[in-house]
Amino acid sequence: MEDIFLHNDNLHNTIAVLENGIEITSDRREYELARELLDLLSDFNIPSDELLLRFKFSFFKNLFFKKQAEAVKLNNQLIETLRLMNSNQLASAYDEYMSTFYQNKLS
**Model confidence over 29-61: pLDDT tens digits?**
999 999 999 999 999 889 888 999 999 999 999
Per-residue pLDDT tens digits for 55-66: 999 999 999 999
Q: What angle do CA 90, 92, 98 make, to 5 degrees?
A: 105
Query: What is the mean predicted confidence (pLDDT) over 66-88?
Result: 97
Q: Is the pLDDT reported for residue 4 higher than 70?
A: no
What ranges do the domains of the chain cover? Answer: 2-106
